[in-house]
């Protein structure tokens, strides 16, 4: 009966019987974790979806990332550091997912719309998603973190496990590759002379 009253953070911490004797940090309480989850789950899920292109995989990876966060109980100085840790863990899980599955991540065609401008936007969106999926996972992660999450180079370096000084070069290469793919598909900017 007592076990039924335990919260998720308590259950995760219960896996380490020596935690109380070793002075290991206590897990964040349920209320703090719930607030942290609500602030970060949506952005992390979107990031994972853009990496994988798969709703179910994104759900699974999100769950695994938060479970590892609770299990590891990282003692970090701020919520921003906790967020970076979470994104880094999620990125590693996504890369593991790619190694395990090695399958195409094709996106389903969106349902056609009656409105021509809406249909045109949907087709462009679909083409952009397919093109984005052609990038390497690290390139997608770089571009997503930089342009959607608006993360600085230090945050990106921590999330992807690369040196902060190399982020600028890696972003340049990822942008160039995306631009080349878009141009090759006729989706790039028109050149004027």
d(Cα 65, Cα 60) in Å, to the nearest integer? 9
Note whether residue 27 is domain-resident: yes
Q: 4 and 85 share a domain? A: yes
pLDDT, tens digit (0-9, with 9 covering 90-100), for 47-87? 899 888 889 999 999 999 999 988 887 776 678 888 888 99
- Tell me the DSSP string of 115-140: SHHHHHHHHHHHHHHHHHHHS-HHHH
Residue with tokens 């990282």: 74
Note whether residue 193 is domain-resident: no
- Tell me the DSSP string of 150-169: ---HHHHHHHHT--HHHHHH
Domain containing 44: what range?
1-104
pLDDT, tens digit (0-9, with 9 covering 90-100), for 18-45? 444 455 445 577 888 899 999 999 999 9
- Per the structure, the count of domains in the chain is 2
pLDDT, tens digit (0-9, with 9 covering 90-100), for 145-162? 888 878 889 888 888 888
Vertex 67 angle, CA 62 and 69, to 5°: 95
Q: Which residues contact 19 (CB under 8 A, 6 or more apart)?
A: 13, 26
Residue 144 has φ and ψ, to the nearest 5°, of -65, -50
Q: 99 and 120 share a domain? A: no
Residue with tokens 């996504």: 94
Q: 70 and 13 share a domain? A: yes
- DSSP secondary structure letter of residue 114: S
pLDDT tier at 115, thresholds 50, 70, 90: low
Note whether residue 16 is domain-resident: yes
CATH number at residue 133: 1.10.10.10
Collapsed DSSP state (helix, strand, coil) of residue 58: helix
């Amino acid at each position: 009966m007592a076990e039924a009253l335990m919260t998720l953070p308590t259950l995760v911490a219960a896996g380490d019987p020596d935690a109380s004797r070793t002075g290991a940090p206590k897990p964040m309480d349920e209320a703090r974790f719930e607030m942290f989850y609500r602030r970060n789950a949506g952005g992390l899920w979107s990031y994972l979806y853009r990496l994988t292109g798969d709703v179910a995989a994104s759900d699974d990876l999100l769950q695994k990332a938060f479970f590892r966060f609770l299990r590891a109980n990282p003692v970090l100085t701020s919520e921003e550091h906790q967020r970076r840790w979470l994104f880094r863990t999620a990125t590693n899980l996504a890369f593991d997912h790619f190694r395990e599955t090695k399958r195409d991540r094709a996106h389903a065609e969106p349902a056609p719309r009656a409105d021509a401008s809406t249909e045109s936007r949907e087709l462009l969106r679909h083409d952009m998603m397919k093109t984005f999926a052609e990038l390497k996972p690290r390139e997608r992660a770089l571009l997503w973190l930089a342009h959607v999450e608006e993360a600085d180079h230090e945050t990106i370096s921590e999330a992807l496990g690369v040196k902060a000084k190399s982020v600028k070069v890696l972003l340049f290469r990822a942008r160039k590759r995306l631009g080349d793919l878009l141009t090759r598909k006729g989706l790039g900017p028109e050149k004027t002379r």
